[in-house]
Structure formats: structure tokens, C-alpha cells
Amino acid sequence: MTPRFDTILITGAAGRLGTQLRRGLAPLARKLRLSDVVEISDLQPNEEAILCDLADEPAILQATKGVDAIVHFGGIAMERGWDQILNGNIRGSYHIYEGARKNGVKRVIYASSVHAIGYHDLETQIDANAPHRPDGLYGLSKCFVEDLGRLYWDKFGIETAALRIFSSFPEPQDRRMLWSYLSFDDCIRLVTAALTAPRVGFTVSFGMSDNSVKTVDNRLAAHLGYQAKDNSEPFRAGVEARTDTPDPKAAAVRHLGGWFVDLGHPDEEAAK
């Protein structure tokens, strides 16, 4: 069967999730174009690679040419100083959307993050319409790109699914990940759903597996058609055995953002 897309661009393709998406999205497109600041290893026949920096506007304009959809997982993936965040995430994502606009790309799947709403409490059970509450410069940049996506939909008709990834790792590493865990396979399911949903407009979805403890209400993204199939239960005993019971009153336990809320300003963290 002909794949749905001719070419999909994956940014951050050398990263932890980018690597998974290369595998997972292969059936959806004739060709995957992969971009990253580091070299992509092990290139497959259905792949082409572009070595470029998101902060390099002309390069991004070039990279987004001729693609049907962009899976934008590139940029800085943790709390970092302002200049890195500004260049990698704010300026970089602006270049991606400008590339999409100038090259006629119709849909962007964006790796937003729980850290865009990290200061909300677990027991509030927020939905996707809750106001932004970033927990650091990283989260702030995620808020920015969500708003950017919203603008490019409202004004230029480019669809965005902003997927607020919680914790996507091979397995849960701490107690918090027992509820924030997004398995790699579920991550692929979520991106696939967002790419193939009949109508996205501008949609925010929380990205988690079907874990028992649920800390947000994802009903406003139900039209993406994402159906998680994994959960963290198989890892529970192991995690609990090697970690302490959390203090429910600790800020990092109370808030969705976890230990990010305990971080000071990255300049000062770096100076420590």
C-alpha cells in the first residue's frame, strides 16, 4: 500500500525519541528526512539525513522544503541557560514554522513537554485548556512554541499537534515516572495518531502511557485517536524497591513538573 506521506521531516532525529521515531514512523512515509546537529548513524534506505542547527534559518528553510509533515522533536531537551534555550528552542522553532509556512508544509507534530505546565498540582487534574505554568526556561520555550503553533494555525492554516511529553524513557526511573511514563511504543503511537488524525487544527495532548495513576485529563485531545497500550505496572516493583517513598508535601511531588520545580535559575545551577 502506498504510504500516507511522501516525506516526513524528523528534527532531533539523533536524539532519544528521534531514534525511536525513525523506526516507528517508517511505515507512514516513502521517505524520512532526518535532521540533527549531530551525525545520524546507521542511515536506512528510506532515510536521508541533514546535518544542521535549528538556529540556522537558511538551513532550516532548506530542510523543510518538499516535506508533507514535520515531526519537530529537535532543540534543547532539558533545563539550560537562556542563550541555549533562546537559540535552540525559541529561534529554532520559529525557523521551523517559517520553513513550514514558506514551503507549504501542512502539519507539525511538536514535542512539547509537561514542563510547559509543570507548576500545576497533580490533584487539580488539569486539562489542555489550563493556562501555561512553565517550571523553567526549558518549559517557557515549550510554551512559546505552543503559542507559535497556535498562531500559525489561526493565521496561516498550518496544523499543530503539541504533544506534551511527560517522561519517555526505556523504563520508569523514579517514583514519579510511575505516572509520567510514556513508553517508546506509545510515543510512536501518539505521534502516528497526530500525523494521521483527520483534523488537528491546534491541539494539545498530554503524552503518557496508560498508567494507573493519572494526573491530568486528556479528553480534549480525544480526536487524535491516540490509544495507549503500555503502562508502568511491570516496572513498579523494581522502582519501588530501589527508591524511597516520596514525601507528598515536597514541591517536586506536588507539582506535575517534578524535580524541575526545585531547580533554581539555570545560570545559578550551572555555577554550583
Binding of residue 176 to its own copies (CB under 8 A) = yes
Q: Which of 97, 138, 152, 226 is catalytic?
A: 138
Catalytic site residue 97? no
CB of 261 to its own copies, least distance (A): 7
Shortest reach from residue 237's CB to its own copies, in Å:
8
* Residues of this chain, 68-107, that bind its own copies according to CB under 8 A: 82, 86, 90-91, 94, 101, 106-107
CB 112 within 8 A of CB 76: no
Q: Which residues pair with 31 in a beta bridge?
A: 7
- Distance (Å, rounded) from C-alpha 105 to C-alpha 196? 15
Return d(Cα 270, Cα 272) in angstroms, integer: 5
Q: Applying CB under 8 A, does 30 fall inside the site for its own copies?
A: no
Applying the rule CB under 8 A, the residues between 209 and 268 that interact with its own copies are 211-215, 217, 219-220, 222-227, 237, 240-241, 245-246, 248-249, 253-254, 261, 264-265
Residues 6+ apart with CB under 8 A from 24: 184, 185, 187, 188, 191, 192
The verdict on 270 binding its own copies (CB under 8 A) reads no
* Position 156 contacts its own copies (CB under 8 A): yes
Enter the C-alpha cell of residue 49.
539525513
What gap in Å lies between CA 49 and CA 41, rounded to an integer? 9
Q: What mask of x and - would describe binding to its own copies in positions 45 to 74, judged by CB under 8 A?
A: ------------------------------
What is the DSSP secondary-structure string of 165-195?
A: E-B-SSS--STTHHHHB--HHHHHHHHHHHH
Looking at the Cβ atoms of 51 and 246, the one nearer to its own copies is: 246
131 binds its own copies (CB under 8 A): yes
Q: Which of the residues are catalytic?
A: 138
